[in-house]
Amino acid sequence: MFQIDPRRVVAEYVGNNSGSGGGKLSTLARKIIDKPVEPAMSSLVIVGAVQAIETLLLAVLGFAIYFAYVGNEEFSHYAALIAASLLISLFAFNIAKSHDIGIYRTRIMQTSRAFGAWAATLGIVLVGLFLLKLSEYFSRVWLVSWFGFGAVTIVLFRFFVREKIMQWTNQGRLKRRTVIVGGGQEAEFLIESIRQTAVNDVELLGMFDDRADKRSPDIVADCPKLGKVADLLEFARQTRVDLIIVSLPVSAEARVLHMVKQLWVLPVDIRLSAHMSKLKFKNRAYSFLGDVPVFDMADKPISDWNLVVKWLFDKIVALTALILLSPVMLVTAIMIKLDSKGPVFFKQKRHGFNNELIEVYKFRSMYTDMSDAQASKLVTKDDPRVTKVGRFIRKTSIDELPQFFNVLRGELSICGPRPHALQAKAANELYHDAVDGYFARHRVKPGITGWAQIHGWRGETDTTEKLLQRVSHDLHYIENWSIFMDIYILFMTPISLVSKNEGAY
């Protein structure tokens, strides 16, 4: 995977004032954008969920037969055998390659592999009990019944899984919405290979190519050109794009790097097609789309199970915080109303995930007639626009507490890059003009607190160097995220509010 230095990357696209790339999108691109898109489903999450549910069903079945036939005798022995058998079955199912989205779409292949793995599990258990001389401790009727009914359960469950997978596939929820960067003969071979071997996994939306001559016609293998590469930035921010395949020769290093530097700010997987390369590597060097080999250039950050874990973390922490901090929020609301006229809450538009506009909630800290919804002027020390109560709640970050509601709405995370106001400036330059690659921080949901904030980069950002430090910390967080990192940030936030709040006004 290529490593991008955020301090040196060149954001090579137009339209920075809106955070988008390119000019006016083509009519065809607009039609694709206007078409409703079903929410995406992660194949890895589905496979993991199927394994977990299947294991749970077999466990419940084993214990149900135990209580119905054996009673309460030697429960610990049976529990240990059930646990060991299920552990063996997990290995057997995966060795048999019975857990895969492609396999789930089949009937005979799926059920035969699953049935064979379950039968192998029975064989291993029987041999193990015989060799360890433990067979006398277990009921043969229970054992045969469990594996017999277990086989039926597996087959019926796999039929159900197939129906759901086919339904989601037809809805497009399992297909990765894909665009190709490049054109000509290379793209033609790529498109044909995808349609032959990965049609159920990839939905080709179109191509983007900067060339406008015969080397890059408007239609290649019935796949239309939607615009130039700069237009792809705007396109991917108005409709869901899951995967970008760069169809350029592996040897064209300069052009490949040029493309990646343009596209890395998007929250998508970027792959370099290797199907036309004369250089041949071992299979483990590639990823595959069907039978098409690709090199991993960049991955969408915080995806699949990581996204599930972060979602749970956000919801649990936000609900807990709102309950525990409700007295503080109530007192703050009362003090704001007593201190000055106007509403308790202040809403401000900011850039969220993938540059989408969101409204962030805050406690009002300025006089109503002096409020600056666009944040065109930074708040400074002793700013006359800030109320008496406002100075305190801004200094202590109590004004940010209503943003827990944004977390519950799915617009913010607990931890992540702080969302900035649209017209915020550093050294009289808009943030996205002051720092190259600024929009790469929007590849994940913004957060109430973040890696930059606990390292002292909060509050006033009046110079380019301060903004660069904040962006660099944000990008470090995105590239190195783990749930333990979020827990650490959450723990350190109140400490940093006390020890590193010099720039907060």
**Are residue 347 and residue 393 in the same domain, yes or no?**
yes
pLDDT tens-place values along the chain, 505 residues long:
434 343 333 233 333 333 334 458 889 999 999 998 888 899 999 999 999 999 999 999 999 999 998 887 788 999 999 999 999 999 999 999 999 999 999 999 999 999 999 999 999 999 999 898 888 888 999 999 999 999 999 999 999 999 999 999 888 899 999 999 988 888 888 899 899 888 888 999 999 988 877 778 889 888 999 999 889 999 999 999 999 999 877 667 777 788 888 888 899 999 988 866 656 666 677 888 888 888 888 889 999 999 999 999 999 999 999 999 999 999 999 999 998 888 999 898 898 999 899 999 999 988 887 776 666 666 767 788 888 898 899 888 899 999 999 999 999 999 999 988 777 777 667 787 778 778 889 999 999 999 998 988 776 676 888 888 888 999 999 999 999 999 999 999 988 887 765 555 5
Residue 349 belongs to a domain = yes
Q: For residues 135, 136, 142 and 145, what is the CA-based torsion angle, rounded to 10 degrees? A: 50
**Are residue 212 and residue 114 in the same domain, yes or no?**
no
**Are residue 495 and residue 429 in the same domain, yes or no?**
yes
Domain end residue (candidates: 171, 195, 215): 171
Q: Choose among 446, 428, 278, 421: nearest CA to 352.
A: 446
Question: CA-to-CA distance for 137 and 485, rounded, in angstroms?
Answer: 47
Domain end residue (candidates: 298, 330, 353): 298
How many domains are there within the chain?
3
**Domain range for residue 154?**
43-171
Q: Which residues contact 287 (CB under 8 A, 6 or more apart)?
A: 271, 293, 294, 295, 296
Residue 431 belongs to a domain = yes
pTM, two decimal places: 0.83
**Are residue 340 and residue 388 in the same domain, yes or no?**
yes
Question: CA-to-CA distance for 268 and 301, rounded, in angstroms?
Answer: 8
**Are residue 351 and residue 210 in the same domain, yes or no?**
no
- Between CA 289 and CA 269, with CA 210 as vertex, the angle to 5 degrees is 30
Residue 317 belongs to a domain = yes
